[in-house]
Structure 1
Amino acid sequence: MDTQPLRWLPPIAGPAAARLPVRARYLGVSTLLFDDGETAILFDGFFSRPPLREVLLGRIAPDLPRIRQGLQRAGITRLAAVVTVHSHYDHAMDTAEVARLTGAQVVGSSSTAQIARGAGLPESRIQVVSDGQAVKLGRFELRFVRSVHAPTAFTGGEISAPLVPPVRAWDYAEGGCFSIVLTHEGRSALVQGSAGFVPEALAGQRADVVFLGIGGAGPLPRAYHARYWDEVVRRVGARRVVPIHWDDFTLPSDQPFAAMPMLLDDVPRSLRLLGEHGARDDIDVRLPPAWEPFDPWAGLAMP
């Protein structure tokens, strides 16, 4: 994949990783792990990654061997919460199974809750959140801000009853989107899982680092990319952008991550535009290492 002129955040291993106040791992799509040694939070938790043929022509369901393999590879045994940005299959299909295996709460929209109910997760393990709500998890705080999906064909809709797989991919309706601001003792990050925005919705929010979803944005007009940057990155005063949701999630995660094929997206163009915007505004744009722990705030002056 052509990522020029972007650089990669360095992975950090061994004792150095253990000393970080917060460690992050990028596990593909918008699946992100944040861990401070006491509390671990997983965004989305999507590991099944069914092949394109099944997505288009068949029915899909969580793949338990792949989920277990992904959790083991990421070193995940216990989670405080699995938090979903919206309810499409590439974000929320595995959520309940990940929660079941790790003891986590499922936190998300009412549609995400229907996925968890369909999997048989008890109500005591399901938390439905709304616009503006804050959730405290150990020393982490998450604030949920209403957002929208990138303007692609597969958007909108709600899941109004428990969803029991196997089902068609489009049965995983979007169910509303969230921008999620994470704070932890002076550190802040925004997880923007989809390349959509609500004008001024993030006014008053602050984040040093933005994990910026770019899935489906490649073919969109340059003016859209510029507005997305302004409404999400500049709006929160970010000093670094980490692109996410650029990999081909129809390939299994035991293969190296590759960009979505040009037939479905134009990832190199999205990355080039991010590089241009970052250079203009003096905002660092870095790609995340796959699966390895890293410090999203590395090189930024922190309290």
Structure 2
Amino acid sequence: MARRIGRPALPGPTEIATTASASPRSPVTVSFLGVSTVLFDDGESAILTDGFFSRPSLPKTLALPLRSDIRRIDAALRRAGITTLDAVLCAHSHYDHALDSAAVALRTGAVLVGGSSTGFIGQGSDLPNDRIVVVENGGTTSHGSFAVTFVESVHSYPDRAHGTIDRPLTQPARVREYRCGEAWSMHVEHVPSGRTALVHSSAGFRSGMLDGRHAEVVYLSIGQLGRRPRAFVEQYWQETVAAVGARRVVLTHWDNFFRSLDEPLQALAYAFDNVSASIDVLDACARRDGIVLELPTLWRRADPWSDRGRV
């Protein structure tokens, strides 16, 4: 069969919902900042997953050693309204998650939190050792108003840079040097309000890994999911969304991350994924289970718990 060229169109507002904007009464807001970078902010405390803002072009990614683009990082932080962070939480150590994590932590006063591979990325940067936190499966860290529990998962298939980073990684570095390390599913609780979310940043799972955990909202990665069989996508839904009893799912890791954030978001090309195929299956799962499925709007301060108490 011939490989498709081009890229799928993203579903429009009549096909999929978008997350409601936060109101002045929202105790915590969530902003989608591309790929699986998600900001949680209550006005006093703020945490950020990944913090990938450099987004080098495909030719540069394939041909050259990479370093963080400080100009793009600063522009994204300004656009998102980020001045300080309590923590940068790294889902795993591939470059499209971890390339900028240490630089963002350094510029915002945050600690860098993740697995041992992420720790070595921090050690290879200018980040002081006392601002690098290495977690283990089931560990919980506290950052201002937020408590985050790290559950070890599995990276989506295929993992083209599998393995671990075993020594400090200094930029510039090749994409292949950003090895996955541990892949985390992160349970976030805003302690003062009791609001909960699961940030699941790679489309893989371990059966039963989330048993006994609850989250009202799931930020669900669909990267590479469109190339998996329907049965796998349905099982992925069961092991993540259904497992935690979520009422709302916000899709992440669907955008073309070889394109700068100052350009409109677009889906990844068919050469990498089929976003429309995965969304179709997940939409069917959501309709069957009575769950709201949403595509986030870049930069928007959203309140995914806006209907809390109305179930």
Any stretches of 5+ residues in structure 1 without a counterpart? none
Residue of structure 1 in register with 2:11 after alignment:
3
Which of 274, 280, 304 aligns to 1:296? It is: 304
Q: Distance in 2 between matches of 1:6 and 1:262?
A: 20
Which of 34, 37, 51 aligns to 2:40? It is: 34
Instruction: Quote how far apart the aligned CAs of 1:11 are.
Output: 2.8
Contact 1:187 1:302 in 2 (8 A): no
Residue of structure 1 in register with 2:6 after alignment:
none
Instruction: Quote how far apart the aligned CAs of 1:10 are.
Output: 2.8
Figure out how many residues of one structure are paired with residues of the other and give that number. 299
Q: Distance in 1 between matches of 2:156 and 2:83?
A: 33
Contact 1:186 1:302 in 2 (8 A): no
Per-residue Cα deviation, 1:166-210 (whole angstroms, up to 9, x for no partner): 111111000110100011132110000000101001000100100
1:172-187 equivalence runs, <5 A = 172-184=178-190, 185-187=193-195
Q: Secondary structure at the match of 1:235?
A: helix
Q: What amino acid does structure 2 have at the position aligned with 1:9? A: T
Contact 2:151 2:184 in 1 (8 A): yes
Residue of structure 1 in register with 2:128 after alignment:
122
Q: Distance in 2 between matches of 1:7 and 1:20?
A: 19
User: Quick check: 1:270 aligned with 2:278?
Assistant: yes
User: Quick check: 1:207 aligned with 2:215?
Assistant: yes
Q: Distance in 2 between matches of 1:34 and 1:187?
A: 11
Instruction: Quote how far apart the aligned CAs of 1:90 are.
Output: 0.5
User: Quick check: 1:49 aligned with 2:55?
Assistant: yes
Q: Distance in 2 between matches of 1:141 and 1:119?
A: 26
Contact 2:251 2:296 in 1 (8 A): yes
Contact 1:149 1:155 in 2 (8 A): no
Instruction: Quote how far apart the aligned CAs of 1:256 are.
Output: 1.1
Residue of structure 1 in register with 2:229 after alignment:
221
Q: Distance in 2 between matches of 1:120 and 1:110?
A: 17
Residue of structure 1 in register with 2:106 after alignment:
100
Measured on the aligned residues, the alpha-carbon RMSD in Å equals 1.3
TM-score (norm 2): 0.94
Q: Distance in 2 between matches of 1:249 and 1:44?
A: 13
Q: Secondary structure at the match of 2:165?
A: coil
Runs of 4+ in 1 over 2 A off after TM superposition: none
Residue of structure 2 in register with 1:70 after alignment:
76
Instruction: Quote how far apart the aligned CAs of 1:28 are.
Output: 0.2
Instruction: Quote how far apart the aligned CAs of 1:113 are.
Output: 0.8
Q: What amino acid does structure 2 have at the position aligned with 1:131? A: N
Per-residue Cα deviation, 1:2-59 (whole angstroms, up to 9, x for no partner): 32631111334xxx3x431001100000000000111000000000000001111221
Q: Which stretch has the larger CA shift, 55-64 or 227-236?
A: 55-64
Q: What amino acid does structure 2 have at the position aligned with 1:51? A: S
TM-score (norm 1): 0.96
Q: Distance in 2 between matches of 1:289 and 1:302?
A: 23
Instruction: Quote how far apart the aligned CAs of 1:119 are.
Output: 0.8
Contact 2:10 2:266 in 1 (8 A): no
Q: Distance in 2 between matches of 1:302 and 1:97?
A: 41
Per-residue Cα deviation, 1:99-122 (whole angstroms, up to 9, x for no partner): 111000000011001111111211
Q: Distance in 2 between matches of 1:62 and 1:107?
A: 18
Any stretches of 5+ residues in structure 2 without a counterpart? 1-8
Contact 1:11 1:294 in 2 (8 A): yes
Instruction: Quote how far apart the aligned CAs of 1:302 are.
Output: 7.5
Q: Distance in 2 between matches of 1:246 and 1:197?
A: 18
Residue of structure 1 in register with 2:199 after alignment:
191
Residue identity (%):
45
User: Quick check: 1:167 aligned with 2:179?
Assistant: no
Q: Distance in 2 between matches of 1:42 and 1:139?
A: 13
User: Quick check: 1:152 aligned with 2:162?
Assistant: no
Which of 110, 119, 123 aligns to 1:113? It is: 119
Instruction: Quote how far apart the aligned CAs of 1:136 are.
Output: 1.4
User: Quick check: 1:242 aligned with 2:250?
Assistant: yes
Q: What amino acid does structure 2 have at the position aligned with 1:280? A: R
Q: Which stretch has the larger CA shift, 285-294 or 189-198?
A: 285-294
Contact 1:131 1:146 in 2 (8 A): yes
Contact 1:39 1:79 in 2 (8 A): yes
Per-residue Cα deviation, 1:238-287 (whole angstroms, up to 9, x for no partner): 11110000000000011111110111100011111111100011111011
